[in-house]
A and B are shown apart, each in its own frame.
Chain A
Amino acid sequence: MEQAVYLITLVGTALVVAAAFSSLIAFRFGAPLLLLFLGIGLASGVDGLGIVFDNAHLAYFVGAIALAVILFDSGFGTPVGVLRQAGLPALTLATIGVGITTVIFGIAAYYLTGFTWLESFLLGAAVASTDAAAVFFLLRAGNINLRERVRSTLEIESGTNDPIAIFLTITLVEIIALGAKPDADLLLVDLVIGFFVQMTLGAAIGLLGGFVIVKLVERLNLDRGLLPIFVLTLSLLVFAMAGAVGGSGFLAVYLAGLVAGNSDIRAVSTLKRFQEGMSWLAQIIMFLVLGLFATPSQFPAIVVSALVLGLFLMFVARPIAVWLCLIPFNIPRQETAFISWVGLRGAVSILLAITPLLGGLENGRAIFNIAFIIVLTSLVIQGWTVGPLARRLGLIVPQRYGPLDKVELELPGSAHHELLAYKVVPGSPVAKGQRIPRWARPSLVVREGRSMRFADMGRLQAGDNVYIFVPDRYPRLLDRLFASRAEVDAEDEDFFGAFTVDQTHLAGELEAIYGATIKEEERKLSIGDLIKQRLRGHVEYADRVSLGPIDLIVRDVDDKGRIVAVGLSIEPAPPPPPVPVFLSGSEISQRIRRFFAKRPQKPATTQEPPTTSEGLSEDA
């Protein structure tokens, strides 16, 4: 017995250590890291080193717990502001989008495999969800500084769509396992009712659970080391409770994380750090276990149809679903195209593909294998092309700030203050003499190994370490003061324009000096308001508005979304590469109107409107 403990621990830890080491390699080469974890699992498994692991129940159990941990963390790290910005399109993608993908993919699967209709849809549901971990990791590791709206949409979609995909898959497994031949109508009704019951219960328990977690953390004076474990356990409790009463545990745990992470909870930075670590571990374990569980020697039988299905999912099913879901939101085509391409599949899809095996379905093993190959295809093809595609579509914006050297420390006994330690970087505003605001209390400065009181210091110098007490909801202003100036290269200068203009001046001035194309009624607007109006109220860092011969670029916005700096470019940017297919809602209505307007004269040859795309940030 004892030997078994050692053996299993030895093998298990060796695998995790190998995976952790591989992350170093992955960061260096930009390879999809998750693929490596999966590869290590595969290589050690039954067809590689020969570790036999064929326990579907255990694999699913471990995977589900790991997913709960990951979802709590991703909810915890999602600011509510992001939700407000991109919530609606993202949630549409996460719900209706998953449904549409499932159906379109299911139809293709039916004709490409020997599965029944229900089994085909089951496979579709398993691979319909975008993997949060994969998306987050790719964006972070690839150092891809995406436009805010795209990034928020992707992050929220991938964080929230798992519960829906899980619900669909499990429901379908249950239906098939029962062996009944249900009426299509009845099936649909069951699905819809089941969906609402599960999601409502899950949401209610999740929100409630989140509040309880916050309250408990506030009340109980737990040991600092124990606190993160306590929170993690509570989150799993929420997960389990929601599941026990028939709700969606995954939705519950995500929402609990969202509530806890956004409610000024004690020891936020400790919790974040711990959860980030746990999230990594969960990720590694999940991929290792799933890799171990797979049996590559069975793959050749299905590999062709799986590859075709994988490509179909990438190039047809997901794009159609994304396009349909985003029509009402008037999102520029470049962004729609990108969002549809970043529909990365990951561990959740493989995990869901285990459920048919659990349900004892005849084709369970084949479904699992196909899903496995589809995930591999997606990680390889999409994972490796995300960066270049984002660049090509013009969705990458220059970094806002340069590097920052900061450590956050928590203070025992004070729930709402933090000690921040900044190192003064050369070129940062403080090094140039900017004052630190009064609400921040700089208390100590360490210069050349000697500590001094801030008041005795005079001007800060590069290399100083400054310790500042701040209320823990400090605005990001401090970071801005201590960050070095972002490196602006020539391309960025093109990006932001050579000149600056004051956003409070009248737009009419631009017309006088540069011959900017401005409408009569726009002349009286301030430049800031003009930009805002042209962008339909939603202004984002790095947005661009074309005024004929010149472009205005939003160089910076403050915390409340107000424009604080505007660049002026006298070399209007070339239009981003045209993306033909993904028409937005207003484009569709325009084309329909044009179509009918032209009909009377030339009914036979309806001229195709030019396919040049509109400006990046302006919706036509």
Chain B
Amino acid sequence: MDLSDLIEVPAIMPALKANSKKQLLQLLAERAAAISGIPEREVFDTILQRERLGSTGVGNGIAIPHGKLAGVKRITGVFARLETPVDFEALDDQPVDLVFLLLAPEGAGADHLKALSRIARVLRDTDTVAKIRGTRDASAIHALLSETPASHAA
């Protein structure tokens, strides 16, 4: 699975400013709503509920909030690169500055998990992550996310 299937350039926010986890989630939900046409509130509630189950901060400044929504037509991603990191209650206590939001339709099943693990893999590549942190260009970030890192070819 290629990440370019789930995310398009307009879904990338290359220099987002947020003061808190909650505000960050709201901004992500807003953009997701704009792309998918689902009410912002629903998106926000879904991902917030998942955060209550446990933070999706996976460490090293990266978070992958996710959830399933009835109204979503296909697996949809939104990406944000933050100007200043915010606390995300991540396991390693490091503030987060790269966030990939993933929304999946109710019936997505295995594809949802496949997409999640693909995202986790791409964002585990230190090279890719460093390059994303170094740019403010949405299409550059899109290209980086869509690359298949040689070392982690999945």
Tell me the A residues contacting B by CB distance below 8 Å: 432, 485, 488, 490, 493, 498-502, 505, 509, 512-515, 549-550, 566, 568, 570-571
For chain B, residues 103 to 129, give those with C-beta under 8 angstroms from any C-beta of chain A: 109-110, 112-113, 116-117, 120, 124
Determine the chain B residues whose CB is within 8 A of the CB of A498 once the complex forms.
Answer: 58, 64, 117, 120
Q: How many residues of B contact A (CB 8 A)?
A: 23
- Distance in angstroms from A401 CB to nearest chain B CB is 14
Interchain CB contact under 8 A, A432 and B93: yes
Interchain CB contact under 8 A, A502 and B50: no
A501-B53 CB under 8 A given contacts A490-B124, A513-B67, A513-B68: yes
Interchain CB contact under 8 A, A571 and B56: no
Interchain CB contact under 8 A, B54 and A499: yes
Tell me the B residues contacting A by CB distance below 8 Å: 50, 52-56, 58-59, 64, 66-68, 91-93, 109-110, 112-113, 116-117, 120, 124
Interchain CB contact under 8 A, B59 and A488: yes
Closest residue of chain A to B107 (Cβ to Cβ) is A515
Interchain CB contact under 8 A, B54 and A502: yes
* Whole-angstrom CA separation of A500 from B57 in the bound complex: 8
Interchain CB contact under 8 A, B113 and A499: no
* Whole-angstrom CA separation of A490 from B152 in the bound complex: 11
Determine the chain A residues whose CB is within 8 A of the CB of B117 once the complex forms.
Answer: 498, 570-571
Interchain CB contact under 8 A, A509 and B93: no
- Distance in angstroms from B59 CB to nearest chain A CB is 7
Number of cross-chain contacts by CB at 8 Å: 51
- Distance in angstroms from B153 CB to nearest chain A CB is 14
Interchain CB contact under 8 A, B124 and A568: no
A499, A500, A501: residue with the most chain B Cβ atoms closer than 10 Å: A499
| CB < 8 Å neighbour of B53 from A432, A509, A570, A571 | A509
Closest residue of chain B to A499 (Cβ to Cβ) is B56
Interchain CB contact under 8 A, A515 and B109: yes
12 A-B pairs besides A499-B56, A513-B50 with CB distance below 8 A are A490-B124, A493-B59, A498-B64, A498-B117, A499-B54, A499-B58, A505-B54, A512-B68, A513-B66, A515-B113, A570-B113, A571-B117
Closest residue of chain A to B126 (Cβ to Cβ) is A490
Determine the chain A residues whose CB is within 8 A of the CB of B64 once the complex forms.
Answer: 498-499
* Whole-angstrom CA separation of A591 from B137 in the bound complex: 61
* Whole-angstrom CA separation of A498 from B109 in the bound complex: 18
Interchain CB contact under 8 A, A568 and B54: yes
Determine the chain B residues whose CB is within 8 A of the CB of A512 once the complex forms.
Answer: 68
B52, B58, B120: residue with the most chain A Cβ atoms closer than 10 Å: B120
A513-B110 CB under 8 A given contacts A488-B59, A498-B120, A571-B117: no
| CB < 8 Å neighbour of B54 from A493, A500, A549 | A500
- Distance in angstroms from A488 CB to nearest chain B CB is 7
A-B contact pairs, 21 of them (CB 8 A): A488-B92, A493-B58, A498-B64, A498-B117, A498-B120, A500-B91, A501-B53, A502-B53, A505-B53, A505-B54, A512-B68, A513-B53, A513-B67, A514-B113, A549-B110, A550-B113, A566-B54, A568-B54, A570-B116, A570-B120, A571-B117
Determine the chain A residues whose CB is within 8 A of the CB of B116 once the complex forms.
Answer: 570
Closest residue of chain A to B91 (Cβ to Cβ) is A500
* Whole-angstrom CA separation of A54 from B114 in the bound complex: 70
* Whole-angstrom CA separation of A332 from B134 in the bound complex: 48
Closest residue of chain A to B108 (Cβ to Cβ) is A515
Q: Which 4 A-B pairs have the closest CB atoms?
A: A501-B54, A500-B54, A498-B120, A498-B58
Determine the chain B residues whose CB is within 8 A of the CB of A499 once the complex forms.
Answer: 54, 56, 58, 64
* Whole-angstrom CA separation of A537 from B39 in the bound complex: 44
Determine the chain A residues whose CB is within 8 A of the CB of B58 once the complex forms.
Answer: 493, 498-499
Determine the chain B residues whose CB is within 8 A of the CB of A549 once the complex forms.
Answer: 109-110, 113
Determine the chain A residues whose CB is within 8 A of the CB of B59 once the complex forms.
Answer: 488, 493
Closest residue of chain A to B125 (Cβ to Cβ) is A490
* Whole-angstrom CA separation of A549 from B117 in the bound complex: 12
Determine the chain B residues whose CB is within 8 A of the CB of A513 once the complex forms.
Answer: 50, 53, 66-68
Determine the chain A residues whose CB is within 8 A of the CB of B109 once the complex forms.
Answer: 515, 549
Determine the chain B residues whose CB is within 8 A of the CB of A502 once the complex forms.
Answer: 52-54
Determine the chain B residues whose CB is within 8 A of the CB of A500 once the complex forms.
Answer: 54-55, 91
- Distance in angstroms from B76 CB to nearest chain A CB is 16
Closest residue of chain B to A488 (Cβ to Cβ) is B59
Determine the chain B residues whose CB is within 8 A of the CB of A570 once the complex forms.
Answer: 113, 116-117, 120
Closest residue of chain B to A500 (Cβ to Cβ) is B54
* Whole-angstrom CA separation of A182 from B109 in the bound complex: 72
Interchain CB contact under 8 A, B53 and A493: no
Determine the chain B residues whose CB is within 8 A of the CB of A432 once the complex forms.
Answer: 93
* Whole-angstrom CA separation of A354 from B66 in the bound complex: 68
Determine the chain A residues whose CB is within 8 A of the CB of B93 once the complex forms.
Answer: 432
* Whole-angstrom CA separation of A512 from B117 in the bound complex: 18
Determine the chain B residues whose CB is within 8 A of the CB of A501 once the complex forms.
Answer: 53-54
* Whole-angstrom CA separation of A550 from B66 in the bound complex: 15
* Whole-angstrom CA separation of A502 from B66 in the bound complex: 16
B54, B58, B66: residue with the most chain A Cβ atoms closer than 10 Å: B54
Closest residue of chain B to A567 (Cβ to Cβ) is B91
Determine the chain B residues whose CB is within 8 A of the CB of A550 once the complex forms.
Answer: 113
Determine the chain A residues whose CB is within 8 A of the CB of B53 once the complex forms.
Answer: 501-502, 505, 509, 513
Closest residue of chain B to A501 (Cβ to Cβ) is B54
- Distance in angstroms from A606 CB to nearest chain B CB is 35
Closest residue of chain A to B120 (Cβ to Cβ) is A498
B53, B66, B67, B92: residue with the most chain A Cβ atoms closer than 10 Å: B53
Closest residue of chain A to B151 (Cβ to Cβ) is A490
Determine the chain A residues whose CB is within 8 A of the CB of B91 once the complex forms.
Answer: 500
A488, A505, A550, A571: residue with the most chain B Cβ atoms closer than 10 Å: A571
* Whole-angstrom CA separation of A568 from B55 in the bound complex: 11
* Whole-angstrom CA separation of A439 from B87 in the bound complex: 31
* Whole-angstrom CA separation of A501 from B91 in the bound complex: 10
* Whole-angstrom CA separation of A139 from B81 in the bound complex: 46
* Whole-angstrom CA separation of A498 from B119 in the bound complex: 11
* Whole-angstrom CA separation of A500 from B54 in the bound complex: 5
- Distance in angstroms from B98 CB to nearest chain A CB is 14
Closest residue of chain A to B119 (Cβ to Cβ) is A498
Determine the chain B residues whose CB is within 8 A of the CB of A490 once the complex forms.
Answer: 124
* Whole-angstrom CA separation of A515 from B91 in the bound complex: 24
* Whole-angstrom CA separation of A513 from B105 in the bound complex: 11
Determine the chain A residues whose CB is within 8 A of the CB of B67 once the complex forms.
Answer: 513
- Distance in angstroms from B1 CB to nearest chain A CB is 13
* Whole-angstrom CA separation of A488 from B58 in the bound complex: 12
Determine the chain A residues whose CB is within 8 A of the CB of B52 once the complex forms.
Answer: 502, 505
Closest residue of chain B to A490 (Cβ to Cβ) is B124
* Whole-angstrom CA separation of A570 from B116 in the bound complex: 8
* Whole-angstrom CA separation of A549 from B110 in the bound complex: 7
Closest residue of chain A to B113 (Cβ to Cβ) is A570
- Distance in angstroms from B111 CB to nearest chain A CB is 11
* Whole-angstrom CA separation of A549 from B92 in the bound complex: 25
* Whole-angstrom CA separation of A538 from B145 in the bound complex: 42
Determine the chain B residues whose CB is within 8 A of the CB of A568 once the complex forms.
Answer: 54
Closest residue of chain A to B89 (Cβ to Cβ) is A500
* Whole-angstrom CA separation of A500 from B91 in the bound complex: 8
Determine the chain B residues whose CB is within 8 A of the CB of A571 once the complex forms.
Answer: 117
